[in-house]
């Protein structure tokens, strides 16, 4: 996992203790995107698959995947100690300790061996600038995946400064208003988007996936400015 510009321990856009409450409010279809990601994995993986979850955060997908198939072995990777502490609590609460393991650090810190039948990156890559960092991030994941394995990427996408992106922001603000998010928090979230989030167009997403060694890409999810793509190594 290439280093992000936002430190989720020292200066998080949302405190780890608040993340699980805020994310479903802020991100359209948050629970649906995880359910659809699970469906993609279930449709493409063997019963005894090894799955790499990059940017495991507070463990939403770790629990979802672990409960989705009791034989899957899952490794969650994340640099944030605070978020992994929350994830570990969830793993224990759902009796998944034998099935789900955690690693504090980045994908680059893992052994460079192709052992995973699938990998996921949910709401991570948009924190990495497109200055070679995004490509390196995707390549580090691809290097650890088996041939023909499935990769799920979910990310904020779009081109800042364009009319289309501004229209999406207008819709997002109305969505947040309806969800009851305070005005001050909305401003804070948009400032984080402007200063620490680096979305790219779908065309660029597909280009980077191809350069990293992925093919047969399909978009399986769209929630305003969040897109979900499945590709094969």
Q: Which two tokens stand for residue 123?
A: 């709401």
User: What confidence tens digit (pLDDT) does each residue in 199-209 have?
Assistant: 999 999 999 99
Q: Which residue has the tokens 């507070």?
A: 58
pTM over 0.85: yes
Determine how β-strand 226-232 pairs with β-strand 215-223.
antiparallel
Residue 102 has pLDDT above 70, yes or no: yes
Q: By residue range, what is the domain housing residue 221?
A: 16-232
Asked if the structure places residue 204 within a domain, the reply is yes
The residue written with tokens 């497109």 in the block is 130
pLDDT at site 5: 52
Q: From CA 211, how far away is CA 197, in angstroms rounded?
A: 22
Rounded to the nearest angstrom, the gap between the alpha carbon of residue 36 and the centroid of all alpha carbons in its chain is: 13
Count of Cβ atoms closer than 10 Å to residue 106 Cβ = 18
39, part of any domain? yes
Q: What is the mean pLDDT of the chain?
A: 91
**Whole-number CA gyration radius for the chain:** 17
- Look at residue 168 in the predicted model and tell me its pLDDT: 94
Q: Residue 218 pairs with which residues in a beta bridge?
A: 230
Residue 10 in domain: no
Banded model confidence at residue 118, pLDDT cuts 50, 70, 90: very high
Confidence of residue 20 (pLDDT cuts 50, 70, 90): confident
Any domain includes 5: no
Q: Is residue 33 part of a domain?
A: yes
Q: Summarize pLDDT for 106-115 with one digit per residue, the tens.
A: 999 999 888 9
How many structural domains are present in the chain? 1
The CATH number of residue 216's host domain is 3.40.50.150
pLDDT (average), residues 86-95: 96
In a domain, 31, yes or no: yes
Cα distance between residue 134 and residue 124, in whole Å:
10
Reported in sequence order, the residue ranges of the chain that DSSP labels E, i.e. its strands, are 50-54, 73-78, 100-104, 116-122, 145-156, 215-223, 226-232
């Amino acid at each position: 996992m290439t280093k992000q510009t936002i430190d989720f321990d020292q200066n998080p856009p949302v405190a780890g203790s608040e993340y699980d409450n805020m994310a479903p409010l802020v991100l359209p279809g948050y629970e649906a995107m995880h359910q659809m990601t699970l469906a993609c994995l279930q449709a493409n993986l063997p019963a005894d698959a090894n799955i790499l979850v990059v940017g495991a955060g507070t463990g939403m997908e770790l629990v979802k995947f672990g409960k989705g198939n009791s034989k899957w072995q899952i490794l969650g990777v994340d640099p944030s100690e605070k978020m992994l502490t929350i994830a570990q609590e969830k793993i224990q609460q759902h009796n998944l300790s034998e099935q789900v393991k955690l690693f504090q650090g980045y994908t680059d810190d893992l052994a460079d061996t192709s052992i995973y039948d699938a990998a996921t990156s949910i709401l991570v890559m948009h924190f990495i600038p497109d200055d070679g960092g995004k490509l390196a991030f995707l390549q580090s994941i691809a290097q650890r995946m088996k041939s023909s394995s499935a990769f799920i990427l979910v990310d904020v996408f779009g081109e800042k400064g364009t009319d289309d992106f501004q229209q999406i922001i207008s819709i997002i603000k109305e969505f947040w208003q309806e969800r009851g998010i305070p005005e001050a928090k909305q401003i804070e979230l948009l400032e984080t988007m402007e200063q620490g989030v680096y979305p790219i167009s779908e065309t660029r997403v597909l280009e980077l996936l191809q350069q990293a060694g992925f093919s047969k890409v399909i978009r399986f999810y769209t929630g305003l400015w969040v897109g979900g793509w499945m590709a094969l190594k």
